[in-house]
A and B are shown apart, each in its own frame.
Chain A
Amino acid sequence: MSKLSKKFIIFAANAKTYFKMVKVNSKRLKSALAGGLTGAVNGLFGGGGGMVAVPILKNMLGYDDKQAHATAILIIAPVCAVSAIVYILSGYFSWQVIIPASLGTVAGGLAGAALLQKLPEFIINITFIVVMFAAGLRMLF
């Protein structure tokens, strides 16, 4: 048997492995592209990246719903820190707004997390949709 055909047989035998490697890389590539979208949205709008990150973690990395929500925060936190620096360096910064708004957000967040256990999910989802829809319309026009 010639050297070349030997090489070909080895290649063919390993084809499955190569295919797997490409597949893994395309998963990486997909999650990288989706991550890029998350960052762009979060940077442009100063938030909302979590809403993009949760479906990525669920659909591309196979996380379950609760894991995806928890891990999305891990992704968004450094991204928010980076884009906050960009905003601050661009001069969009007001201590008078940021300090009270941050204090309020933390207090409200803790209260909200406690309330979450008590309210039915359906009510929460409806509230969310109505608030987002009304705010979206108000800001568009």
Chain B
Amino acid sequence: MSFYLYLLAGFGAGLLGGMGMGGGTLLIPVLTIFLGVEQHIAQAANLVAFLPMAAFSLSAHKKSGLLRTDGVLSVVIPAAVTSIAGGLIASLLPAMILRRFFGLFLLFLAFRGAAKLKLTP
């Protein structure tokens, strides 16, 4: 039963992600709020779930010629290094604390999105 619930959660998060909303970030609140998944487990699931989606998107973007690579390495390499540090810090934090930080991060993204909103559709 829970297999289908997780499948549904992934579908909902992927649906919004596919429309360009926050990548896979929404899978985490869906898993923790509605299905009671532990914060770290949900974050790990989001990281892995993003990979096949990224492969699909990248091949589509490559065809449409939107991918650029100039200057990308100078972003990717430091990002990969600090992501190890970020992951280690997360693994040391208690789930409740990490969950609150994550909540703050979502609020920040929501406010940033609202600030950029154009009121004339």
Binding site for B on A (CB under 8 A): 28, 31-51, 53, 56-57, 61, 63, 66-67, 69-71, 73-84, 86-88, 90, 92-94, 96-98, 100-116, 119-122, 124-133, 135-141
Contact = CB atoms under 8 A, between A and B. Distances in A.
Contacts of A122: 118, 121
- Majority SS at the chain B contact face: helix
B14 A137 contact: no
Given A97-B41, A98-B45, A106-B49, 19 more contacts: A39-B85, A46-B47, A47-B46, A74-B58, A77-B55, A86-B83, A92-B91, A96-B2, A97-B45, A98-B48, A101-B9, A102-B49, A104-B9, A114-B18, A130-B110, A132-B109, A135-B103, A136-B29, A137-B103
Contacts of B38: 92
- Majority SS at the chain A contact face: helix
B20 A96 contact: no
A82 B111 CA distance: 29
Give the size category of B's interface with A.
35 or more
Contacts of B7: 100-101, 103-104
A108 B80 contact: no
Contacts of A132: 22, 26, 106-107, 109-110, 113
25 contacts: A39-B79, A43-B83, A44-B87, A44-B90, A46-B42, A48-B25, A53-B79, A67-B68, A75-B79, A83-B83, A83-B86, A96-B3, A98-B44, A101-B49, A102-B10, A102-B49, A104-B10, A106-B56, A114-B18, A115-B19, A121-B121, A127-B21, A133-B106, A135-B26, A139-B100
